[in-house]
A and B are shown apart, each in its own frame.
Chain A
Amino acid sequence: AQKVTQAQTEISVVEKEDVTLDCVYETRDTTYYLFWYKQPPSGELVFLIRRNSFDEQNEISGRYSWNFQKSTSSFNFTITASQVVDSAVYFCALSEARIKAAGNKLTFGGGTRVLVKP
């Protein structure tokens, strides 16, 4: 069975500080996908990134960066120079590659609430 653990339930930072969110996953599959979603106070789920298990290159998108380490089953997310608008709950999720008919259900971690204070 697959499992995603986000050990940090809440992180509070002051604007312009960097914040790193940890994500550790468990899966028996060799092919899988990892995701990060942002859930702002308005409640919707905003897709941030998808990585497949064969691509361990780190990725940077603006102030966001992701560090995928297969050896430690981790997919950490860093927000650089945080802003108040980054305040949200961030979810890490895992999807195993399935047969065509099964689709790709997501298993979510418990989420990390990030509070950025001005």
Chain B
Amino acid sequence: EPEVTQTPSHQVTQMGQEVILRCVPISNHLYFYWYRQILGQKVEFLVSFYNNEISEKSEIFDDQFSVERPDGSNFTLKIRSTKLEDSAMYFCASSEDSEAFFGQGTRLTVV
């Protein structure tokens, strides 16, 4: 069964460093998303991506964040100059229609 895969599963980074979280969406899907879940809290929408551009972003998704689909398969989330409060689980998702399929998440720890 096709699935969304995310790498790495866990990343530790120093405050101020840049990180890139990687995702391989399901191949025939058209919509791609990033969500964030701070420990113990709800899952929050960050950004959606369609037709090689951002279609919607939340207030959380400020200039520190960027997304890219560098080739036909990967979808990345870059966080520039990480802060302690960026520590969270980051989920990638993709969809063909209304049903989103989630990856297993990348746990980002900023120290």
Which residues in A have some Cβ–Cβ distance to B below 8 Å? 33, 37, 43-45, 47, 50, 52, 91, 93, 95, 97, 101-111
**B42 pairs with A45, CB closer than 8 A:** no
Partner of A108, one of B44, B49, B104: B44
**Known A-B contacts A103-B48, A104-B31; A44 and B42 likewise in contact (beta carbons under 8 Å):** no
Chain B binding site: helix, strand, loop or mixed by DSSP? Answer: strand
Q: Are B107 and A103 in contact (CB under 8 A)?
A: no
On chain B, the residues within 8 Å of A44 by CB distance are: 102-105
A33 to B41, alpha carbons, bound, how many Å? 22
7 contacts between A and B (CB under 8 A): A43-B107, A45-B91, A45-B105, A50-B98, A103-B50, A104-B97, A106-B45
Interchain residue pairs A-B with the least CB separation, the first 10: A103-B31, A103-B48, A45-B102, A108-B43, A44-B104, A110-B42, A105-B45, A33-B98, A104-B98, A108-B42
A103: B residues at CB distance < 8 A: 31, 33, 48-50, 55-56, 95
Say yes or no: is B65 at the interface (Cβ < 8 Å to chain A): no
Asked if B51 is an interface residue, CB under 8 A from chain A, the answer is yes
**Residues of B in contact with A (beta carbons under 8 Å apart):** 31, 33, 35, 41-45, 48-51, 55-56, 89, 91, 95, 97-105, 107
Q: From residue A93, how far is it (CB to closest CB) to chain B in Å?
A: 8
The smallest beta-carbon distance between B19 and chain A, in angstroms, is 18
Residues of A within 8 A of B48 (CB): 102-103, 105
Chain A residues whose CB sits within 8 angstroms of the CB of B41 once the complex forms: 110
Query: CB distance B105 to A43 under 8 Å?
Result: yes
State the CA gap A105–B102 with chains docked (Å).
Answer: 12
Whether A47 lies near B102 (C-beta < 8 A) is yes
In angstroms, how far is the closest chain A Cβ from the Cβ of B28? 15
Q: Which residues of A contact B51 (CB under 8 A)?
A: 101
A101 touches B102 (CB 8 A): no
